[in-house]
Structure 1
Amino acid sequence: MKINDSVLVKTDGEQMREGIIRLIEPFNEGVMYLIELPEYPTGIWFFNENTADAGIYVIPKESD
């Protein structure tokens, strides 16, 4: 995934939210993504862990 990619974000709700990657920060334990959501245009940070599927919150959106 790269900046400006459309992605789906897993949040507390049952439905995935669509957003756009605005920044990416790599860490030893995973990657932080700043995601612009319609209700949060300045973005929210989400962390994808390298070691656990349960810790993956940002996934690529499949092309239509």
Structure 2
Amino acid sequence: MSYTISYEPVGDAIVLGRVHYFSSPNGEKTTEALPSGATITTANVVANVEVDFKGAATGSSVRVMIDP
């Protein structure tokens, strides 16, 4: 399954994203940097795609869009 993940900070913050997902059927979990508009392809397993963000300034808000 492929997902395109886009995001944008709300306000004047700088935000860096990371994505965590299962990339192979044997359960290997991948973590990688997430530029906005990136497409990831997961293994055909039952699992969640997780994203996290680090912002400067603390408490920044982020708008996220995910298209399967």
TM over 0.5: no
TM-score normalised per structure 2: 0.30
Question: Rg: which structure is higher?
Answer: 2
Richer in strand (by share): 2
> Greater share of helix residues, 1 or 2?
1
Higher RCO (C-alpha 8 Å, min separation 6): 2
